[in-house]
Structure 1
């Protein structure tokens, strides 16, 4: 792909002075960002991150510095959070060789699944060792906003159902059922309110790079905040049934071995916390990458619960 003039000028003047970009390649991006592989004429590889909807450049750059030596992350080379130099917010980091865990789980021998799970669990435990003064969502200096991330699930689900495309794709009975479930979770989530550990908030195989059975980088920190690691446990286990056998058990084992704490009822708590993310996905355009998958997941879980079973996903 061709780089815009202002960004190419920013690279040559500020981010990579003295280096010439010999090749570019579009990488898989997310709903809120776009990623481009840059290869210099000397063979060095970098990733240029452009922010399409949500400017989390300052937060991601600050987290990369904070996590150095604690959690494997891509090294940030240069960042322009306000776009004053590049014309838009951009972040340049070193490319981390490896493969996404999502690919490894589909191509590796089955016996590696447990080891890959343990490595992902241990990396998550390391993330949780980073603490903050209080829970909340980060400003540009990584100061949490004091807004409790575990509170208000039913209202959050209701708002996303009312304003998103799921309103037209879920039946009235399905919407009512989902709201009942969100309300039933709230007393459980109150038990983890006040936690103030680092949460990645999109911790799943597509954002974890591995070499062999070791995690070499955790990517995409744009949604990170301060709360309980059970948000990330729920995210990872959302599609547990689709992983190779023993991966999920390895993940849980690795998380505990790395020092992560799983309180009584952690499976229901983590599933309830993950409903925040699922509701947010349902508010996105119906042709976005994960909308249909999230919708199908919610319907599947609703169908699994009969009237005699607890009113929880």
Structure 2
């Protein structure tokens, strides 16, 4: 972030910039803590359309930061007290399964928001344009990604496409779901304090679809979580409402989109490197039927 950008945001909020500290940001944006003379705010630069993200946050039925300012390529949100969940899980509390259950309950509530159709949002009115169902999009999307990747050899690319083609028809069971999906649920995007979720962050990838995808997102690298957390998370999610009998498997199928996309990122990007390991495991063993373990 340029100093003048921080000063501009501070002035727009009626304050004066005292200090700026770069925070851990996402793959597509930069996040900065701005300490003004009267309060702390968080500024986000880059990424998706801030106006869409702000509109999604206004609808979210879970704790989120207050949106203070929206510009063409930036937004400012209120500072929320709490600790990033990823840091908490590094030295997990004794009640880690209970914490997972709390997080699962909160994530389940995101899907309470319903839309008229499934797809990606256009404009701050959150309209969803016509698009093919997910079951028809998976294979063409995976083909596009495999054409770009340097991470997988030819045999692996062919095997991944075959895997996607084999399982894509099962997505017809949830093609009609049109509910709010965060799209990037992971421990780095959740703040907790006192055993409760204080904020769900980074809504730039939100869309209308099936909430099972959020569980699969959280479970993707679940092998690295402390014992009990993921089981608690899944149980908390399940408490919210009845689910499709194969909901965990269907969530894994939705994750085929994200895993395919990760393969297009340059070697050396840590999360994409981890995703490549999962892709190879699934090629060898098939798509897991559960989100509780890989």
Q: Same fold (TM over 0.5)?
A: yes
Give the aligned partner of residue 97 of structure 1.
81
Deviation at 1:291, TM superposition (A): 1.6
Alignment match, 2:7: 8
Say if 2:84 is the partner of 1:106.
no
Do residues 117 (structure 1) and 100 (structure 2) align? yes
| Distance in 2 between residues matched to 1:153 and 1:76, nearest whole Å | 34
In the alignment, which of 28, 31, 48 is matched to residue 27 of structure 2?
31
Residue 267 of structure 1 corresponds to which residue in structure 2? 248
Q: Gapped runs of 5+ residues in structure 2?
A: none
CA contact (8 A) 2:119 2:130 kept: yes
Which of these residues, 304, 308, 311, is aligned with residue 285 of structure 2? 304
Whether the 8 Å CA contact 2:7–2:16 is kept in 1: the answer is: no
Which sits farther off after the overlay, 181-190 or 144-153? Answer: 144-153
Distance in 1, matches of 2:42 and 2:95, equals 29
SS in 1 for 2:205: coil
3-state SS of 2:134 partner: coil
Aligned equivalents of 1:283 and 1:116: distance in 2?
A: 34
2:148 to 141, 156, 163: 163
Aligned structure 1 segments of 4 or more residues deviating by more than 4 angstroms: none
Contact 1:101 1:206 in 2 (8 A): yes
- The answer to whether the 8 A contact 1:161-1:175 is kept is yes
Paired residues for 1:178-217 under 5 Å: 178-217=160-199
Task: Name the SS for the 2:63 alignment partner.
Answer: coil
Answering whether residue 71 of structure 2 is matched by residue 75 of structure 1, we say no
Is the contact made by 1:230 and 1:266 (CA closer than 8 Å) also made in structure 2?
Answer: yes
Q: Deviation of residue 55 (structure 1)?
A: 3.2
| Distance apart, 1:288 and its partner CA | 2.8
Q: Helix, strand or coil: the match of 1:26?
A: strand
Change in 2 beyond 3 A, CA 1:213/1:146: farther
Tell me the CA shift for residue 31 of structure 1: 1.6
Give the direction of change, closer, same or farther, for the CA distance of 1:66–1:127 in structure 2 (3 Å limit). Answer: same
Cα contact 1:154–1:183 (8 A) shared by 2: yes
**Unpaired runs of 5+ in structure 1?**
83-88
Could you tell me the TM-score, scaled by structure 1's length? 0.86
TM-score, scaled to structure 2? 0.91
- The 3 A distance-change label for structure 1 pair 134 and 174 is same
Residue 288 of structure 1 pairs with residue 266 of structure 2: no
How many equivalent pairs are there?
A: 288
Distance 1:266 1:155, change over 3 A: same
- 2:220 is the alignment partner of 1:241: no
**CA–CA distance in 2 between the matches of 1:289 and 1:46?**
28
Q: Is contact 2:163–2:286 with CA below 8 Å preserved after alignment?
A: no
Partner residue of 1:50? 45
Q: Secondary structure at the match of 1:220?
A: coil
Name the SS of the counterpart of 2:127 in structure 1: coil
Q: How many Å apart are 1:150 and its aligned residue?
A: 1.9
CA distance in 1, matches of 2:174, 2:254: 10
